[in-house]
Structure 1
């Protein structure tokens, strides 16, 4: 029986383990931390307070994997916010809700920002949906080239869409649709995740476009949460893997991969224990996998140079805040409301993003960062003591290295900065804070194994996408070392909680072993998927016709909500 060792028990490593074990291989997963999940975990950060410490929103996880592994049978319960998916606010009280219902959101945009931006929001959503129709079928297939994808957009008569969403900047992309600065700032956040750049940096548009493949319970443009925090997802995947025979070990850090005669032969743990294996998969990022675990001495010189040039810049932080009350945002009623249920953004402004990048380049903290936050304890009171709350905040565009000091030195300054931003938007929080837990970019590397503090395992800019991820010329999960594969987010399709990198790596292993894959997988099938037209193309053609004005009006009507939901439903998704 073929023995496979998987280095790293993050969600992608566990997905690989589950599929390989189901196919009859002997699988051992080795996780350095005392718990499985990597950056997809629910942890007790203070006595009695549990929270999703790194990833916290689910909208990209591939439903095929949830179904294949029967994750709901292993305890996974996914749910969405009861009303608002997202909330954006400024200290002045100006704010905006993105509701679960598209018609309600369009009416909100029209009321807050005017008819032009309301129509633009509908157009933007339609274009994102069409973009997703091209990219989504590629998520669980070997990566095509960027040129192949560009050619497909051209064949569909959408070359402009490709240039706008793939090669352009976030600033130019959003400027082509919207007038409102608050609306642009809200949408820009997903375009600066794990990127060393600003919204004006060319190529950042794809980071935003990456979210076009997302869905929740079959519906485009929605996202949700896992009951018990995001760690419930990895717990379910781990249970599925274990049920198929995978051996899961924690507190088992790997020191290096054993390479003899150009082939991976197993691993050596930090304890000195050696585990022999026929194949080794690494869920670590490409730099750590190849330059640390394997070592440059086992790699061609050009591979070493390419991996050294692989861009892992783009750090973030988390500051978790225990409090005895909920934020009362300026301009909104007191008490619990929809502003506490979804994904919140504090003062998202393009100028703030630009200033944050300038600060990152100078190696200092930003003065007015854009803050994201969620409050799991509103939706799940059992995660915290009675009457208490846990506010999980985060900031992108941080430098990994600070000028003149370390992140350990700057930890309190970072905590204070986040608290000040919260107080600025919700003055009632002064005196309400019971404790904090701060995760700096250095902590992300040191504790969670994320080189450079990059949660995507590397920037998702055009040069590092599809068959160019992580390195052009070799990819598709195989490496120059025979029997050594990559299965983390540093491979196609990239960052976020998708599970697709782990699935694809497992399919590459099965293909190389001559074992049947659960569904068709391979470059020829990927090419067919790329050429396939879908419902989104028909919908887009109708929207581009003289019916556009009628469709915009209809999309805002609550009595036509079923029809609007149908338009956002992925073929095969839930009604």
Structure 2
């Protein structure tokens, strides 16, 4: 036994660091345990970063932790370059788009503004503990009432529109509003990226609204690269933890959560070292936390069944290409650092890629999101849809096939790119699962769909961050409100733990 703390945090991803900072600033003796040799989780590995295009931390969290919001939120939102089948890309920044006709620009701006208002209404719950399906507390009901009031303030017409579309699919919504094409493809990518649903899947409008609601910086759901890149956010959060008296250990993988009389007692590391604490907050995925680190012997049968049935099979692979020169854009100019490249020419292209993955195959033409790091001379690519349970498995040949397909698609938007590639790396969903404790290799630790949101996230009976063993909390992307880089799950979980202790 090596020590005793007030709270242990499993995983130094951004949510784990946020949770640790909240607890440490309240006077708790906190230790963060990270299995890998770097901090920041999927955000923090500079050599092969999973989250290469983060959103900014929620401003409410930055204020609560007294972080430099201006530096972390950057000077301006990330510009998206959306490529169609030919010609130069459309340029999208929030609700503004250039490169298309005036009517489409207007229709898109109108749609984006309306979705933003509706997302804001849903966003009232992002930094609140979701209400219980049983007996909800006064605070939980008050938060739900505030969201209902915000929805009511949309006005009768817009509220009726929200109720009409919220459980429908983005294929129908975008097809009706702006038609199919690269603009619709870019929005449909936001609704599906990281998950296992295509544009025609029911509930993808809710996913789009939910992601927009989770990130309210510089407007609705816009990506904002921190000044200094993702590393700046990781450094700011880790410094916040240590400045408040918390400690962080890397290279310290947790093997088991220790339990004594149905209460959390601490953890045992893979080295055999035991560290004791009455509070344990896990930034690992729900399945990894409950089935592997805790163990089914501490859970009832129905709870275990729901956990096993949780939808958490990832469909995104990450590829990095080292390149000898700055990528040239089709239509002129170069891809600039800080820009976001999306190659999803139509919603049909996304759906076609999804159809292949549904049956365990790699798509012939994956749809892509990419960014360029000029300092490292590296093009970072997220390829959707690539199934976790790939037919034949994720062999080196399968990775080579995916890499070739991705380069073929990239060359259409970035002419001459393949000849400039000097090295490449592929991280499949299986690799993400192995490296980051994310069951199924899912970015969000679980699907963002109607039966796994709010009081049903990660699944019925496991919401509100508290687990059946007293003192164990989920603080990662599998908890409400979900994935991406917002810090909300870690912030909410830490506050729930403090409330339970009467602080």
Residues 306 and 471 of structure 1 are in contact (CA less than 8 Å); yes or no, is this contact kept in structure 2? yes
Figure out how many residues of one structure are paired with residues of the other and give that number: 487
| Superposition CA RMSD, Å | 2.5
CA shift digits 1:375-398 (9 cap, x unpaired) = 132xxxxx32xxxx2111111222
Alpha-carbon separation, structure 2, partners of 1:345 and 1:495: 20
Q: CA deviation at 1:42?
A: 4.2
Residues 186 and 342 of structure 2 are in contact (CA less than 8 Å); yes or no, is this contact kept in structure 1? yes
Q: Within 5 Å, give how 1:130-529 maps onto structure 2.
A: 130-144=117-131, 153=151, 156=154, 157=156, 158-213=158-213, 218-220=218-220, 222-330=222-330, 332-334=331-333, 336=334, 341-377=338-374, 383-384=375-376, 389-515=377-503
Q: Any idea what SS the aligned residue of 2:280 has?
A: strand
Residues 194 and 458 of structure 1 are in contact (CA less than 8 Å); yes or no, is this contact kept in structure 2? no
Which among 85, 96, 102 is matched to residue 90 of structure 2? 96
Q: CA deviation at 1:219?
A: 3.5
Unpaired runs of at least 5, structure 1? 46-52, 378-382, 516-575
Residues 57 and 73 of structure 2 are in contact (CA less than 8 Å); yes or no, is this contact kept in structure 1? no
1:118 aligns with 2:112: no
Q: Any idea what SS the aligned residue of 1:292 has?
A: helix
Alpha-carbon separation, structure 2, partners of 1:213 and 1:406: 35
Alpha-carbon separation, structure 1, partners of 2:164 and 2:318: 31
Query: What's the counterpart of residue 64 of structure 1?
Result: 60
Q: CA deviation at 1:220?
A: 3.5
Which among 39, 42, 47 is matched to residue 42 of structure 2? 39
CA shift digits 1:541-573 (9 cap, x unpaired) = xxxxxxxxxxxxxxxxxxxxxxxxxxxxxxxxx
CA shift digits 1:498-523 (9 cap, x unpaired) = 101101011011101111xxxxxxxx
Which deviates further from its counterpart, 433-442 or 420-429?
Answer: 420-429
1:459–1:81 CA distance, 2 compared to 1 (3 A) = same
CA shift digits 1:311-343 (9 cap, x unpaired) = 10232111111112222232x224x366x6411
Q: CA deviation at 1:399?
A: 0.6
Q: CA deviation at 1:217?
A: 5.3
Alpha-carbon separation, structure 1, partners of 2:44 and 2:250: 14
TM-score, normalised to structure 1, is 0.79
Alpha-carbon separation, structure 2, partners of 1:133 and 1:198: 24
Query: What's the counterpart of residue 138 of structure 2?
Result: none
Which deviates further from its counterpart, 476-485 or 130-139?
Answer: 130-139
Q: CA deviation at 1:55?
A: 1.2
1:255–1:409 CA distance, 2 compared to 1 (3 A) = farther
Which deviates further from its counterpart, 398-407 or 212-221?
Answer: 212-221
Alpha-carbon separation, structure 1, partners of 2:229 and 2:397: 30
Which among 25, 30, 33 is matched to residue 27 of structure 1? 30
Residues 225 and 338 of structure 2 are in contact (CA less than 8 Å); yes or no, is this contact kept in structure 1? no
Query: What's the counterpart of residue 556 of structure 1?
Result: none
Q: CA deviation at 1:183?
A: 1.6
Which among 69, 80, 96 is matched to residue 86 of structure 1? 80
Q: CA deviation at 1:428?
A: 1.8
Q: CA deviation at 1:114?
A: 4.5
Unpaired runs of at least 5, structure 2? 134-140
Which deviates further from its counterpart, 291-300 or 61-70?
Answer: 61-70
CA shift digits 1:433-461 (9 cap, x unpaired) = 11112211111011122211111110000
Q: Any idea what SS the aligned residue of 2:416 has?
A: helix
1:409–1:295 CA distance, 2 compared to 1 (3 A) = farther
1:14 aligns with 2:55: no
Q: Any idea what SS the aligned residue of 2:385 has?
A: strand
Residues 16 and 503 of structure 1 are in contact (CA less than 8 Å); yes or no, is this contact kept in structure 2? yes
Alpha-carbon separation, structure 1, partners of 2:181 and 2:201: 18
Alpha-carbon separation, structure 1, partners of 2:45 and 2:174: 34
1:367–1:461 CA distance, 2 compared to 1 (3 A) = same
Q: CA deviation at 1:120?
A: 2.1
Query: What's the counterpart of residue 537 of structure 1?
Result: none
Residues 343 and 369 of structure 2 are in contact (CA less than 8 Å); yes or no, is this contact kept in structure 1? yes
TM-score, normalised to structure 2, is 0.90
Q: CA deviation at 1:430?
A: 3.3
CA shift digits 1:417-436 (9 cap, x unpaired) = 21121123222223211111
1:172–1:145 CA distance, 2 compared to 1 (3 A) = farther
Alpha-carbon separation, structure 2, partners of 1:414 and 1:164: 39
Q: CA deviation at 1:215?
A: 5.1
Residues 56 and 225 of structure 2 are in contact (CA less than 8 Å); yes or no, is this contact kept in structure 1? no
Residues 26 and 245 of structure 1 are in contact (CA less than 8 Å); yes or no, is this contact kept in structure 2? yes
Q: CA deviation at 1:125?
A: 1.7
Alpha-carbon separation, structure 1, partners of 2:167 and 2:243: 43
Residues 41 and 436 of structure 2 are in contact (CA less than 8 Å); yes or no, is this contact kept in structure 1? yes
1:63–1:409 CA distance, 2 compared to 1 (3 A) = same
Residues 82 and 91 of structure 2 are in contact (CA less than 8 Å); yes or no, is this contact kept in structure 1? yes
CA shift digits 1:224-243 (9 cap, x unpaired) = 21234313212210110011
1:326–1:347 CA distance, 2 compared to 1 (3 A) = farther
CA shift digits 1:155-176 (9 cap, x unpaired) = 7534434335531111122123
